[in-house]
Amino acid sequence: MSVNRADREFHFTSADFNLIKDLIYKRAGINLAESKKDMVYSRLSRRLRANGLKTFQQYLELLNDNQSDEQQEFLNSLTTNLTSFFREAHHFDILKEFLESRPHPVKIWCCAASTGEEPYSIAIACMEHFSSYTPPVKIWASDLDTKVLDKASKGVYSFERVEKLPDQRLKDFFFRGKGANSGLVKVKSPLQDMIHFFQLNLLDSSWPINEKFDVIFCRNVMIYFDKPTQYKVLKKFQPYLKDDGLLFAGHSESFPHASDLFKLRKHTVYTKA
Ligand SMILES: C[S@@+](CC[C@H](N)C(=O)[O-])C[C@H]1O[C@@H](n2cnc3c(N)ncnc32)[C@H](O)[C@@H]1O
């Protein structure tokens, strides 16, 4: 599909796309391929409408105003938040095995938590492992995108998001909505109590964390970064991960270019080199 389709509401040129591409790369590390032009147009057209703007040029001017609330909306619009409960399920078995030998409390950071399915899956795995609603584990869950964090902290999902979970998990960890809430589930409050949600941009020069973690989950976000950015983020993880801690990556992520920092242990799980 061409960028300048006649039926488009707003004129959108390659130059507009390139400016947006540079901006999201600078602010979030997200490396947009040319093939994302239509996606960018469609997501940002909504922002033009919301701001009552007529052109992408006006929108780019708004983004250059550092005081504008639109900065965050821009980031929220261009993130991809695909996730699910117990995605890459083998990782949760590796986590449970790892919990055996850890001093308490075990500290886990999920750094691209999206709408919360991942940190809640981590919390469920920990509760199952310790057979307790108050396991000796603390979870920090962050994301760049404030909209997904808001959804994550509420812990309310459509039933389809959980229908593939085993019945026992559903009973133990979710309430099913009734009446006006039918078709929805809500995570039980001990799960929410275990997790501290906060905003964090992996690209920021300093992070608002004062912890050393046993485990970092950083899954399916590095794929949006180029190799130099991945290396920078991996280097920044170093002081936040205990020497014998684990770093979980996504199924299509690997870091041979950072072999001085992390070595593969198994199935996209890394330890410090
Ligand atoms: C595809 S989702 C992955 C969610 C989850 N980790 C999983 O594997 O199912 C990627 C998430 O990374 C977040 N993200 C993108 N760039 C980021 C950045 N610079 N800092 C922190 N989070 C970022 C997005 O907002 C999005 O929620």
For the chain, domain boundaries: 14-78, 90-272
The CA 139 to ligand 1 mean position distance, Å, reads: 17
**pLDDT of res. 67:** 86
Burial class (CB in 10 A: 0-12, 13-18, 19+), 210: exposed
Residue whose C-alpha is closest to residue 88's, from 128, 122, 132 = 122
Q: Are 106 and 115 in contact (CB under 8 A)?
A: no
- Provide the sign of the torsion angle of the four alpha carbons 68, 73, 76, 78, taken in this order: negative
The superfamily CATH assigns to domain 90-272 is: Vaccinia Virus protein VP39 (3.40.50.150)
Catalytic residue flag (residue 43):
yes
User: What tens-digit pLDDT sequence spans the chain (273 residues)?
Assistant: 444 566 789 999 999 999 999 999 999 999 999 999 999 999 999 999 999 999 999 999 999 988 889 999 999 999 999 999 999 999 999 999 999 999 999 999 999 999 999 999 999 999 999 999 999 999 999 999 999 999 999 999 999 999 999 999 999 999 999 999 999 999 999 999 999 999 999 999 999 999 999 999 999 999 999 999 999 999 999 999 999 999 999 999 999 999 999 999 999 999 999
Active site residue 244: no
Q: Select from 126, 9, 97 the least CA-distant residue to 56.
A: 9
Q: Which atom of ligand 1 is nearest to the CA of 76?
A: 25
Does the annotation list 220 as a binding residue? yes
pLDDT at position 242, please?
Answer: 98
Ligand 1 centre distance from Cα of residue 179 (Å):
33
**Assigned CATH for 14-78:** 1.10.155.10
pLDDT of residue 4: 55
157: β partners? 185
Question: Backbone phi, then psi, for 233, in 5-degree steps?
Answer: -65, -45
Same fold, 14-78 and 90-272: no
